[in-house]
């Protein structure tokens, strides 16, 4: 298994649902409140979504290019990978051993004791932090197996945590106070949060595959469960990632909401770099796809289909792409296509090409887009370790011209600022824009925004399927 501190690709799939071709007055799921917005306002909303959609598609290609390490989304307290879990177990074990060595009068001999006998148990105040720590060690001298419990509590009221517990099961052999020959059998972590926090508690566990002393596990099962407070619309999230050397892996994640709806994500991984992804959204929308990561031959591809519930317009969105990675600097070049099938059977298409270059830590990507309706444009994405900045221009079907900037954050939320002009010539002649807009997109592709047009202001709600609701301020 590789690093699992990952960008959520399944959430990026929500962006596939966005269709630059859908207008809010033609989509029965997105009625227009108050009076119908102007044509220019609708054009801005449509173009803004198209720009965001292409940013999201680029992120998706990044995720597929990374293969397993960019597809799995599992966030466990203190550790997200098997390597991090092994290192955490070493730190916790060392902390416990140091505590035992400071209290030799409490330590009981480990010779000849039965399974799960307590040979050490001490609770003490940490004067440096003000927290209270409890360290317990249970041991079986015949098997050499032990359980460490390290618990921290009595956090101050202003601290997010109320309780933090780690349990380590390990084979310590007969050298109980020497960790050089220990083998981790399992690791569990439990965090409980103070009242008023969004999260009530988090649980994480890792069960490694068997591995030799002196090495680290290269497979196993990672799992997590998060419970949320009553103030949250989501009640719980559970995720599991299982991977074993030579057999590939699998990932599942289920989120449950207060209205008893569920959001389910899953993926499978083969040893040859291929795999599948799928998602079932709360409204019944399904997403299914396959991918071939470039890990083995530097050539990658993907195909993903989003199918909406009956009577939804659009009915289906299909996206596919091919790309090549240049190994020395991981530069991507390639193309992708998107096909939107409307409820009446009409099909609208979009295509794009991708080119990248890197200077130091700065990666610049140019995306050139052409829609079948004649709208087109380009996006330049500059990626630094902290944020991705986007600039670009867009020409709409009616030849109105837009200039935009955006920032894309680590969770894939996007802030987009947009200016619409009567034409490219009007922009070059420094004419005032027809309208301006600010949009904020969330990781699932939904969002909100404001379009300002002269004396009129519209509040915009962007739904996960790409439909838009305009409400004119009065």
CB 474 within 8 A of CB 27: no
- With cut-offs at 50, 70 and 90, classify the pLDDT of residue 26: very low
Give the tokens for residue 463: 């739904």
pLDDT in tens, 422-435: 999 999 999 999 99
Q: How many helices (H) and strands (E) does the chain have?
A: 5, 25
DSSP H or E stretch at residue 13: helix 9-13
* pLDDT level of residue 201 (50, 70, 90 thresholds): very high
For residue 35, the model assigns a pLDDT of: 59
Cβ distance 219 to 208 under 8 Å? yes
pLDDT score for 220: 93
Ramachandran angles phi, psi of 387, nearest 5°: -160, 160
- pLDDT score at 105: 79
pLDDT at 16: 35
Q: What is the mean pLDDT of the chain?
A: 84
Does residue 82 have a pLDDT over 50? yes
Helix (H) or strand (E) holding 63: helix 39-66
pLDDT reading at 372 higher than 60: yes
pLDDT at 33 over 60: no
Residue 123, pLDDT score:
94
What is the per-residue pLDDT for 305? 96
Burial class (CB in 10 A: 0-12, 13-18, 19+), 262: exposed
CA–CA gap between residue 270 and residue 71 (Å, rounded): 13
Is 114's pLDDT higher than 80? no
So what's the pLDDT on residue 22? 34
Q: What is the predicted pLDDT for the residue at 12?
A: 35
Integer Cα distance of 76 and 417 in angstroms? 35
Residues 356, 321: Cα–Cα separation, whole Å = 16
Q: What is the pLDDT of residue 118?
A: 87
What percent of the chain shows pLDDT beyond 70? 90
Question: 27: exposed, middle or buried (C-beta count within 10 Å: 0-12, 13-18, 19+)?
Answer: buried
Look up residue 197 and give its two tokens. 């926090």
How large is the average pLDDT for residues 379-408? 91
């Amino acid at each position: 298994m590789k690093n699992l501190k990952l960008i959520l690709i399944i959430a990026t799939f929500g962006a596939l649902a966005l269709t630059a071709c859908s207008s809010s007055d033609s989509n029965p799921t997105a009625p227009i409140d108050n009076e119908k917005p102007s044509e220019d306002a609708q054009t801005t909303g449509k173009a803004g979504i198209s720009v965001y959609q292409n940013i999201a598609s680029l992120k998706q290609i990044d995720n597929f290019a990374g293969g397993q390490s960019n597809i799995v989304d599992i966030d466990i307290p203190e550790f997200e990978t098997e390597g991090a879990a092994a290192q955490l177990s070493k730190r916790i074990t060392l902390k416990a051993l140091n505590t035992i060595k400071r209290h030799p009068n409490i330590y009981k001999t480990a010779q000849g004791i039965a399974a799960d006998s307590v040979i050490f148990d001490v609770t003490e105040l940490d004067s440096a932090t003000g927290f209270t720590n409890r360290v317990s060690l249970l041991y079986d001298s015949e098997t050499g197996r032990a359980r460490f419990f390290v618990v921290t509590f009595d956090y101050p009221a202003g601290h997010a945590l109320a309780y933090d517990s780690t349990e380590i099961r390990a084979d310590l052999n007969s050298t109980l106070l020497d960790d050089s020959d220990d083998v981790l059998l399992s690791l569990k972590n439990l965090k409980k949060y103070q009242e008023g926090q969004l999260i009530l508690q988090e649980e994480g566990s890792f069960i490694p595959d068997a591995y030799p002393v002196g090495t680290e596990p290269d497979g196993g099962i990672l799992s997590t469960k998060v419970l949320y407070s009553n103030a949250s619309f989501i009640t719980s999230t559970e995720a599991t990632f299982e991977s074993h050397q030579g057999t590939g892996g699998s990932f599942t994640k289920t989120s449950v909401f207060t209205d008893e709806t569920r959001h389910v994500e899953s993926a499978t991984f083969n040893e040859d770099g291929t795999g599948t992804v799928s998602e079932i959204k709360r409204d019944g929308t399904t997403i299914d796809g396959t991918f071939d990561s470039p890990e083995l031959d530097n050539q990658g591809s993907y195909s993903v289909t989003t199918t909406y519930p009956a009577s939804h317009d659009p009915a289906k969105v299909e996206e596919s792409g091919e790309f090549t990675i240049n190994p020395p600097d991981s530069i991507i070049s390639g193309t992708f296509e998107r096909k939107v099938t409307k409820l009446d059977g009409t099909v609208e298409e979009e295509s794009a090409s991708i080119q990248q270059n890197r200077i130091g830590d700065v990666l610049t990507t140019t995306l050139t887009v052409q829609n079948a309706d004649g709208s087109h444009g380009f996006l330049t994405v500059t990626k630094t370790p902290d944020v991705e900045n986007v600039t670009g221009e867009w020409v709409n079907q009616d030849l109105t011209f837009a200039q935009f900037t955006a920032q894309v954050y680590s969770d894939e939320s996007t802030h987009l600022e947009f200016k619409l002009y009567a034409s490219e010539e009007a922009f070059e002649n420094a004419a005032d824009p027809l309208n301006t807009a600010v949009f904020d997109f969330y990781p699932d592709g939904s969002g909100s925004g404001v379009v300002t047009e002269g004396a009129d202001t519209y509040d915009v709600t962007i739904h996960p399927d790409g439909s838009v609701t305009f409400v004119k301020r009065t």
